[in-house]
Each structure stands twice: as structure tokens, then as C-alpha cells.
Amino acid sequence: MDPARTILVRCSGRDRPGITTGLLGVLATAGAELYDLQQVVVRERLTLDLLVGLGDADHALKELLFHAWEQELQLDFEVVESDEDPEPGPRSVVTVIGSSLPPAALAAVTGAIADGGGNIDRIHRLSREPVVSFEFVAVGGDVDAMRSQLVAASQAHGVDVAIQRETLERRAKRLVVLDVDSTLIQDEVIELLADHAGCREQVSEVTARAMAGEIDFEQALRERVRRLAGTPASILDEVGAAVRLTAGARTFVRTLKRLGYTVAIVSGGFTAITDRLAADLGIDHAVANQLEIVDGTITGRLVGEVVDRPGKATVLRRIAAAEQVPLEQTVAIGDGANDLDMLATAGLGIAFNAKAVVRERADTAVSVPYLDAILFLLGIRREEVEAADAADAADAARPERDRAPVLPADGVPGA
């Protein structure tokens, strides 16, 4: 066999079982060496590339052409010099998410990768609904240069774009820690409590002062809690029943748990709400502030340490240590400045529908209103989620003694 006769064989045609097996069988009979192969199917149209080394190339190619003619396939050949296969550089994964992804948006993204020196090696579609998302695997390039260009493309076309190094740590994330208010749920719990207690105006005034930087988080929290003094503790049950999960929250948590992740929530809110959410969703850890309650009445004071901005990062470290998960394998998700330390501590910090300052400082941002869209940043495809949910539904339809426990769906788009 002449090792110089390295040939790229490209097969295309309507997909059906046995095509790859048949071509490999012909190559095996010809004594070929297989160096590489890749296959993709789009709308039942197959493209299969095989990089092979052939000794008696003329005979082998004739056999391949005859086999392709019999199978109604199209074959193309290209002689490849052995020195045309350079040592691959570092790989990066670029994830693009949007309510729609028109050609102009994708052209801007792929152009940003090229401008940063990256070469696209593979493209995978991750989802078609409730959002559209694609994953681009790029070889080489400067990650910082690509990130800068991708941010510009994201802003120009109103899509979410994330870039991560393709490393073992990216594929081995094991702990996800979420903020609660305006992240896991759509509401701000302190405002709901203030509504029920009849002190919304006073609480909003303190919140405005905190956002203006006049007082810090702990002082603002204690002042707002003080406004709740004398309120029956029963309002906590009313607020707990009233909170609205973010669209896709159940699917997000359910999928992570199915994959063996540890899931935690950490909140500047209150344990009476977070404990209820954790029990409902099957969350492993829930940490928040504790309201003091005496004789069934909220006293207006807190018990124990306050969970503030640095406290959230401390909680993430503590849970990671307890679960024996390296920080590089953790994910943190939040929306406010109070989450910045936690996002910076995690291996991947994600700003979810966040304030501008958080989007600018997080590793990446997701702006679509579906929490389960974050699954795409982890390389999880929508079809895989749907298949697993369908399997759970089939399990639920079996007799009760054979049934596995399953969480209910959100009942909203993205669930």
C-alpha cells in the first residue's frame, strides 16, 4: 500500500440504515486504512466523509463507485497530501441562542469566529423551540479576540452568544447554583410580602435607596424586614403559593437531576419560600435568610447571618466542598449585582435576564425568558430532553408499582 495515496471520500444521498456499513465493508475488502470519518444528516440527506489510505487506489475506487451506483449514492474523491493534516489547535465552543436565528445573525457569529482566528470544525443544532440554538466548535484562534467580536455580533443582532474552551471541565459540570428572585422565579419575594403586609410603598422606597447606592444590601434588607413587623406569619404560605416559576424552570431542574447534577438555590430572600421551592422541585440544597417568628408573628428581625453578595459566593464554595465538586465544575446563575461574587467564583457564571452590569461581568449571558435554555450552554440538546421526558411519561402510564417518580411539567412554553 502506498501511504502517499491518502484520499478523502465524500458520500451523499438519502439516508437509510446500512450505508456506512456498506462503504466500510468495501474499504475493508480493499485493505484500506481508515484515518478519520465524520457523518451528518440534515432532513434525511446524508453526508459522510471518510479519510482513507489506499494502496491499490484505482481498484478500490472502482469498487466504491460500483457500490455507490448500486445503492443510489453520490461519491466524490479528493487526493489529500499527508502534510495537509496539521496538528489541531485548542478547541472552543460557541453557543448561539435566539428566538430566531436568521442568516445575517449567524453570518455575524461565524464572521466573529473567523476574525478571531478560529476555524469552524463542526456545527450542531441544539434546539428549534422554544428558542433556536446552535453550537459551533472552532479550532484555534484567540478566545479573547473571538469573545470581543462575538459580543459585538450579539449586540448588533439581538442574540445570545457564549464562548467556552472545549475542555474536560466544560463537559464535566456537576453542580449548578441558582439565585431565586427573578431567576428561578419571576417575582421578588420581599415585594410580595410587602403587598400582603400592606407596606409596599415603604419597602419600595428602601429598595430604591439601595439601588441608588445610598445603603448596602444588608442594611436595606434589615430595613425592609423591619417593615414586616407584626404581620401574621401565615402570609408566608400565601406568598409561597403565589410565586411564579420562570418558564422552563421545572424542565431545567428535572433535566439536571436526571443527568446526576447537584442543584442548589441561594437567595437573599427567605427560607420559608426557598425551602418550599426546594421540596417542590427536588432541589438538593437551599440557603436563604431566616425571618424571626414569635407566636405566629413576624417580628421584623432576622435570625443568623445575612446571605448577601459575598455570602452567596461563600455558600457556593461550601456546597461545592460538601459535594466534593471542584469549583471549575460548578455553574452559577443569577440576575443582579448581589450575584456577581457567586458568578465570578463558579467555573461558569451565567447572567440570566440580568442587569447590564451583571451581563458585562459574567462569563456569558442568556436573555431569552426560558430558564431551560441554559441547558444548551451545557451542550444538552432539546431533542434529548424531550426524549427523556417522553420516557418518563411512558413510565407514568405503567401500573403504579412499576412507576418511577416524575416531576410535573411547568405548563408554560419552555417547560
Return the number of other C-beta atoms located less than 10 Å from residue 170's C-beta. 19
Q: Which of 160, 179, 339, 389 is catalytic?
A: 179
Pick from 373, 379, 312, 380: nearest CA to 346 = 312
Cell of 133: 440554538
Q: How far is CA 79 from CA 64, 75, 219, 298, in A?
A: 15, 14, 72, 79
d(CA 31, CA 326): 47
Burial class (CB in 10 A: 0-12, 13-18, 19+), 200: middle
> Per the structure block, which three cell numbers stand in for 230?
407584626
List 365's β-bridge partners, or say none. Answer: 351
User: How many Cα atoms are found within 13 Å in the side-chain-facing hemisphere of 384?
Assistant: 15
Phi, psi angles (nearest 5°) of residue 139: -105, 135
Q: Look up 181 and say whether it is catalytic.
A: yes
- Count of residues in the chain: 415
How many whole angstroms separate alpha carbon 143 and alpha carbon 319? 30
R_g of the chain computed on alpha carbons: 27
Q: Which of 160, 181, 363, 389 is catalytic?
A: 181
Nearest by Cα to 203 from 181, 180, 179, 221: 221
Active-site annotation, residues: 179, 181
